[in-house]
């Protein structure tokens, strides 16, 4: 989320900060699928009631406050874009903001960023059922084959020249599927068969590629809109393998630092509130630049901290009671919306 917040507040510093969204998708796909596979292994089935209850408890409280604040802030300080924000608020409530943005029906509202949550939720309307059916029919090998085939289908779909590629579920779900594939492969112990040095090299190459795209990336280029998003997801996947899966003998100590764990636990709030904090401060400190980043960043962290402590934590306690078992992965796992 740091890359996303930076690119929104100081665009020249990280013109390709949107890569953070793809990393978020990969991590989310990994986490959710790991949870589903753990439940299936332990109980022999996947409880859809428990799955959707967990997601509601994690997502709805902070999102509801964000929607309400967005409408209020737009009405008070940005009346020219208030109608767009209201349409986005309705779409965010229904988790269809991405299609509203893709159709060009909104341009300047304060809740456009909820398009990423819409893609995730739409994906998870179908993924648990598809995974459960495939596991029942052919086990994890078939599930992995299906996931890889779906990634290939999405790439081919983008090659047909569809429009609004960046915001559509059918053209961006490959990032989530990369994370899903990693989770399935990890559950089959496939990474244990890979030399540790290869995993380290894959992580280094992936991290380097993400850094390059962050500094120079253009999300609307022909390359990005065809195979580029999948390549970014694979680069993120290289990092996720070493960070989230953690093969034996590959330490990732940096993720155990208190600061990163603190931010990771509150990253959902950081993502939700940062456009609103930026909108509040923009009339005084400007829309873009280092001062904007520092000011909006500080306010965002404060808002996320308050939200996590007083709004999200009570619901997270209830969510924890519905989990089959905790999933390891430190701050990175905490940074997802599972």
Please write the tens of the pLDDT for every residue from 182-209: 999 999 999 888 888 888 888 889 999 9
Phi, psi of 258 (to 5 degrees): -55, -40
Higher-scoring residue by pLDDT: 336, 225 = 225
Q: Where are the beta strands (DSSP E) in the chain?
A: none
Question: Measured between alpha carbons, how far is 279 from 288 in angstroms, rounded to an integer?
Answer: 11
Give the residue-averaged pLDDT of 278-298.
86
Q: Read off the pLDDT band of 336 (50, 70, 90).
A: very low
Higher-scoring residue by pLDDT: 143, 7 = 143
Structure tokens at 297: 């960043």
State the burial class of residue 93 (Cβ atoms within 10 Å of its Cβ: 0-12, 13-18, 19+): middle
CA angle at 188 for the pair 137 and 194, rounded to the nearest 5°: 145
Residue where the block lists tokens 């589903």: 36
**Residues 26, 159, 206, 22: is their CA dihedral positive or negative?**
negative
Q: Read off the pLDDT band of 33 (50, 70, 90).
A: very high
Question: Measured between alpha carbons, how far is 98 from 100 in angstroms, rounded to an integer?
Answer: 5
Tens digit of each residue's pLDDT (9 = 90 or more) over 127-161? 999 999 999 999 999 999 999 999 999 999 999 98
Amino acid 329: pLDDT:
41
Q: Residue 116: which domain range?
A: 2-334
**Structural domains in the chain (count):** 1
Amino acid 82: pLDDT:
94
Amino acid 332: pLDDT:
43
Amino acid 253: pLDDT:
57
pLDDT at 244 > cutoff 50: yes
Question: Measured between alpha carbons, how far is 143 from 150 in angstroms, rounded to an integer?
Answer: 11
Name the pTM for this structure: 0.90
Amino acid 255: pLDDT:
58
pLDDT, the chain, mean: 88
For residue 163, the number of C-alpha atoms closer than 13 Å in the C-beta half-sphere is 5
Question: Measured between alpha carbons, how far is 30 from 238 in angstroms, rounded to an integer?
Answer: 12
Angle (deg, nearest 10), helices 19-43 and 115-159: 100
């Amino acid at each position: 989320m740091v890359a996303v917040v930076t690119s929104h507040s100081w665009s020249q510093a990280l013109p390709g900060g949107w890569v953070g969204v793809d990393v978020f998708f990969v991590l989310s796909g990994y986490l959710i699928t790991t949870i589903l596979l753990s439940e299936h292994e332990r109980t022999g089935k996947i409880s859809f009631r428990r799955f959707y209850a967990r997601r509601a408890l994690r997502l709805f409280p902070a999102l509801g406050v964000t929607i309400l604040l967005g409408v209020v802030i737009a009405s008070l300080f940005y009346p020219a874009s208030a109608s767009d924000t209201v349409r986005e608020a309705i779409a965010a409530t229904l988790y269809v903001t991405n299609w509203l943005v893709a159709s060009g029906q909104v341009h300047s509202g304060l809740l456009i960023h909820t398009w990423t949550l819409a893609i995730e939720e739409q994906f998870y309307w179908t993924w648990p059922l598809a995974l459960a059916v495939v596991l029942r029919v052919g086990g994890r090998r078939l599930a992995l084959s299906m996931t890889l085939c779906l990634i290939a289908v999405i790439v081919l779909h983008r090659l047909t020249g569809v429009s609004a590629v960046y915001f559509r579920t059918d053209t961006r779900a490959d990032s989530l599927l990369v994370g899903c594939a990693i989770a399935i492969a990890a559950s089959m112990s496939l990474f244990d068969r890979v030399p540790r040095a290869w995993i380290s090299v894959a992580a280094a190459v992936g991290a380097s590629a993400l850094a390059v795209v962050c500094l120079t990336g253009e999300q609307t280029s022909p390359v990005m809109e065809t195979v580029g998003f999948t390549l970014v997801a694979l680069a993120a996947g290289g990092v996720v393998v070493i960070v989230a899966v953690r093969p034996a003998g590959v330490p990732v100590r940096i993720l155990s630092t208190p600061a990163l764990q603190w931010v990771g636990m509150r990253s959902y709030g950081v993502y939700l509130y940062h456009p609103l904090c930026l909108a509040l401060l923009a009339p005084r400190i400007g829309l873009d630049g280092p001062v904007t980043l520092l000011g909006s960043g500080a306010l965002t962290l404060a808002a996320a901290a308050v939200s996590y402590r007083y709004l999200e934590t009570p619901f997270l306690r209830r969510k924890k009671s519905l989990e089959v078992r905790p999933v390891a992965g430190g701050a990175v796992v905490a940074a997802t919306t599972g």
